[in-house]
Structure 1
Amino acid sequence: MTTVLVIGGAAPKESGFVRDICERAMDQFLARNVTVILTDTKENLAAAPELVARAADSHELDFADAAACVNWATTFARHTPVHAVVGFREYAAVSVAEVAAALGLPGNPPEAVRRVRTKDECREFLRQHGVRQPELALCATEREAVDFLAAHGPEVVVKPRRGSSSEGVRRVSDPTAMAAAFGEALDAEGLVLVEEFVHGAEFSVEGLFEAGAPHVLTVTQKHLAPGGFVEIGHVMPAPLPGAVEAEVRATVIRALDILGLGRGHFHVECWVTDSGVVLGEVHARQPGDWLHSMLEWIHPGLELYGRWLDDLLGVPAATALPQRPARGAAARFLAPPSGVVRAVHGWAELSAHPSLLAASCALSPGSAVRPVSSNLDRHGAVVVGTGDAATAESLAAQLLTGLRIDVTA
């Protein structure tokens, strides 16, 4: 039997899209008659008994600890041959690459994944190869960050070097606000990344490597909360002029080639500015925020995880990857004002709509609504799939308008 090792492949139902990714991957792997070895933290395995039951075996493992994952996997592989290694989380990417390399299996080069995971190193590497990036500084003191603001203002972005989900990311224009932002972004090494603020519309590019070559599946339009970086909506495919979309795709493909990535999914962010495309962060994983479900909707028949596994195993593809989306999809996220929820109206009607791909609401009477400062602070999602992007965007907004959450400040 062919055995696939999944590093960080369990999640509680309450985790929303993360659990959905784990379930879709399990479905697509088992449909190929492979043996699935599931690993994750003790807490995640305990919270996902349905996934554990479907796997041939499960083991407790910290997916973010690359050394521990390599030690465990090399011991495991002495008595059970492993044919492919996969993982779905941002913080598992390095572990997946290191384990695949240790076992002599196909995967992204560990040094490339480590570079991508460290934002400043990735930016400088791409800049050296001629890819346009925001100016940045790695700051050890608040004074250095304030000096960067003075040189590259009127506003800058302060962020952790290796974070995700917009946690600890702040937009700063006032030097007196730097101390708080600096403290939130400070890492264990005592460093903070400060970047030039790029003015332009934000997009992300979603794709899959096959036979070592990147294949763009779509460009996604982002909607951000006013004045911040929290994503409150997505539209797929993005409504871009043909020439602009071509430039976005070409910029991303060139960057991926420079970075030396060649396996699995990719999710790359960028800005379209008056002077061209500026590359944002690069991720060697599938996108979050239900974009995986939107991708499979707009490309009927596409299996994001099964196709990835086939590539790792060297199984020839029966069909070519799709060139253009056949349908449209959109997502909107719940971010009501802060306070205490008195009542939620309209959820039953919303959740029964036939065009829903996913819907969740974590709020009920008595729930405390905190300020939305990262993607993890949102309180639910409405994801729809229709025949085209414009219709999907309109429907998602309409459904969210019909949901009323009464909050007492």
Structure 2
Amino acid sequence: MIEQRSRSAPAPTQPHAPTTPVALLLGASTPTTTPALLEAWSSGITTHVLDRAALLTARTPDTATLADTSSGLDVTRPDVCVAWARRQAARGHRFDIVLGLRPDVQESAAATATALGLPGNRPEVIRTVLNPGACRTALAAAGFRVTPPTSENPHLAAVGILITGRPHVVLIATLPPDGPPRPTDLPHQTRTAVTTLTAAAITRLGLEFGLFRVDLTLTDRGPTLTSVHTTLGDDGVATLLTTTVPWLEPFATVYDDALNRSVPLPFLGETV
């Protein structure tokens, strides 16, 4: 229960204890904010949440309680986030992990991690992935077939985690035209094709850190790419992940990867 995991926040004016890893989380109001905070708590990681003041104020009580420290900031602006993080570092505050929890903060998270010398994706890679047209162009130029979303063929979402820069697919979901996502029941050969294609696309785009989601379409020629994301979305795929792979804590796995901890994962497929 959340109530059992809540704890008193450290005084925000004091630098974090040098032995406690600190995660800087950008985005206070997303479907995955509470899991990200809970999994930090269970991993012994202190959290500092950044978001606009209005969104911090609008948080649910559970989300507000679980964050050790919170600061109001326009997290959609990479320059603002980098300047803030550098000021914090100059004052003796240390961060070990930077992670964005919404699509609109991904570039800021990447730029902040780069500025602090922490694991993360390159900002230029994130800019490409966030722009659907640029992303499709980059994949097509690399020889991938990219199909815009249609209602004629089955849609899938392949969800995974990057560990030491390598993509691991941990769930393949079916995306029905109406209703929530559900687990797939694909033949082995099709499942292998989906995981292989997903991992190859993630690697080719240059993503190296965090979570990913690749949406695909099944055609008579096999799976084709539809879109690539660095968050899990708000259509129920994140919830399906927790129920289908209940032993996996995706955010804790990302934190462990950033801290160079051992990361066991269920195996569906990875880059070769």
The TM-score with structure 2 as length reference comes to 0.85
Write the deviation string for residues 194-233 of structure 1: whole angstroms up to 9, x where unpaired.
x6858421111011111211110121101114xxxxxx32
Which of 198, 203, 208 matches 1:252? 198
**Residue in 2 aligned with 1:54?**
66
**Residue in 2 aligned with 1:41?**
52
**Residue in 2 aligned with 1:333?**
none
Which of 227, 240, 253 matches 1:307? 253
Write the deviation string for residues 88-134 of structure 1: whole angstroms up to 9, x where unpaired.
11111111111101111000111111100011111111111110123
Which of 120, 131, 134 matches 1:121? 134
Equivalent runs, 1:81-230 vs 2, <5 Å: 81-134=94-147, 199-225=152-178
**Residue in 1 aligned with 2:37?**
26
**Residue in 2 aligned with 1:234?**
181
- Secondary structure in structure 2 of the residue aligned to 1:93: helix
**Residue in 2 aligned with 1:269?**
215
Q: Distance in 1 between matches of 2:82 and 2:106?
A: 13
- Secondary structure in structure 2 of the residue aligned to 1:77: helix
Q: Which has the higher strand share?
A: 1
Amino acid at match of 2:139: L
Q: Alpha-carbon deviation of 1:81?
A: 1.2
Q: Distance in 2 between matches of 1:64 and 1:58?
A: 16
Q: Alpha-carbon deviation of 1:289?
A: 2.2
* C-alpha contact (below 8 Å) 2:211/2:232 kept by paired residues: yes
- When the two chains are superposed, the root-mean-square deviation of aligned CA atoms in Å is 1.8
Q: Alpha-carbon deviation of 1:306?
A: 0.8
Identity of aligned residues (%): 29
Q: Distance in 1 between matches of 2:65 and 2:157?
A: 35
Pair member with larger Rg? 1
**Residue in 1 aligned with 2:75?**
63
* C-alpha contact (below 8 Å) 2:35/2:251 kept by paired residues: yes
Write the deviation string for residues 39-90 of structure 1: whole angstroms up to 9, x where unpaired.
1111221122443333332111122222221121221222201111012111
* C-alpha contact (below 8 Å) 1:266/1:287 kept by paired residues: no
C-alpha change, 1:272 and 1:67, in structure 2 (3 Å) is same
**Residue in 1 aligned with 2:267?**
323
**Residue in 1 aligned with 2:241?**
295
**Residue in 2 aligned with 1:76?**
88
- Secondary structure in structure 1 of the residue aligned to 2:182: strand
C-alpha change, 1:50 and 1:233, in structure 2 (3 Å) is closer
Q: Distance in 1 between matches of 2:201 and 2:45?
A: 33
Amino acid at match of 1:57: T
Q: Distance in 2 between matches of 1:198 and 1:111?
A: 32
- Tell which has more relative contact order, 1 or 2 (C-alpha 8 A, sep 6+): 2
Q: Distance in 1 between matches of 2:151 and 2:193?
A: 17
Give ranges in structure 1 of 5+ residues lacking alignment. Answer: 12-17, 135-194, 226-231, 325-409
Q: Distance in 1 between matches of 2:64 and 2:172?
A: 34
Give ranges in structure 2 of 5+ residues lacking alignment. Answer: 1-19
- Secondary structure in structure 1 of the residue aligned to 2:56: helix
The TM-score with structure 1 as length reference comes to 0.58
C-alpha change, 1:76 and 1:249, in structure 2 (3 Å) is same
